[in-house]
Structure 1
Amino acid sequence: MPSQWNTDGRICRLPMPRIPRLGAKARDAGVYVSGGLFALGWWFFMDAVICSKNFDDVEQQKKVSVEFVDWVPGICSTLGMIIINCIDKASLRGDSFSFSSSGSSVSVTWVARLFLFIGFAFMAGGLAGSISVMCIKYIIPDHGDPFTFWGICNVVQNAAIMVSAAMLWIAQNTESEYEYSFGI
């Protein structure tokens, strides 16, 4: 094996920083702020949905309205957030144990990393989908002012869900001052 390859078992060449210990109040505040961002994102989208349904110009309303295609990115981002935050961070750190089913052994770490990837893929797909919907449906046809706002609300929703997922991940998976590691 060439000498420039990393042989100490790490995935990245640069070590990732450890998240510092947060007090109970800081952890609770992180969870609350994360929930607030999640609610704010969905509030922006629901505002666009309500404005779309109450739009006065009937002729223009037939051309452009918030439909199911606008809901899909937010649903994907929400599913990604749920998947990511259901994974225990300790199961990502190493091959601690494995389980076997029908004669083949499967590593818990590998499965956790797979689900983490799927969760991030859902969130990235939701954000990319919202940007695509905004560009294709609202900006390129150049329908006018309120319609562009509906597309921007969709992007803001998905960005808020992604930031909320990151904050919740950090807040829930930091070391507490009351948790001790008895591992060697």
Structure 2
Amino acid sequence: MAGILDNFQCPSCDCIELGEKRNAVAAVLSGALFFSGWWIIIDAAVQFPAESEMPHAVHACGAIASLAFFMVNAVSNGQVRGDSYSEGCLGTTGARIWMLLGFLLTFGSLIAAMWVLFGIYVVNTTKGNSYPGVAVFLQNALIFFATLIYKFGRTEELWD
């Protein structure tokens, strides 16, 4: 039973071969997700302007996620592997620490957005409408996926 999936191969789809367009597709998709996340939270902030409906402190989650997006994508995969980067403040170790801090901020903002959604809006039924909590969570989830797509969806050979 331990080797049940040893000979399983996923079928390849030849219609999705992006080739040299892979970087452009990853950048456009990542940008669309990042924009959609901010669009959703701006919509929620306009619909619920009062502090009692949507506390202004919940916007910190999206701001930290945006900062983490830039932190993670400021370091190339070659710098993390040590292929193209040896000088600087801490060299390859510094690039790895910087990227780790970026991912920690990304995960932390996503967890904080879940806490805002469930802790303020789902459990507390006196708020009435839970759309602001859903908007905060969607914003952070979309920025998280934009970070992953832009970081791991493009090829390094065309950028270096």
TM range (shorter): 0.7 to 0.9
TM-score, with structure 1 as normaliser:
0.69
CA contact (8 A) 1:76 1:122 kept: yes
2:60 aligned partner, one-letter code: V
The structure 1 segments of at least 4 consecutive aligned residues displaced by more than 4 Å after TM superposition are 95-100
- Displacement of 1:75 in angstroms is 0.7
- Structure 2 residue corresponding to 1:119, chosen from 63, 79, 102: 102
Q: CA RMSD in A?
A: 2.5
1:42 aligned partner, one-letter code: W
Match of 2:60 in 1: 72
Count of residue pairs brought into register by the alignment: 144
Match of 1:138 in 2: 121
* Higher CA-based Rg: 1
1:89-128 correspondence to structure 2 within 5 Å: 89-94=77-82, 98-99=86-87, 107-128=90-111
Q: Which has the higher strand share?
A: 1
1:175 match: secondary structure: coil
CA contact (8 A) 2:78 2:156 kept: no
CA displacement 1:36-65 (0-9 Å, x = unmatched): 000011111111111102xxxxxxx56x32
- Displacement of 1:34 in angstroms is 0.6
How far apart, in 2, do the equivalents of 1:130 and 1:175 lie? 35
Q: Which has the higher helix share?
A: 2
Match of 1:41 in 2: 37
CA contact (8 A) 2:78 2:84 kept: no
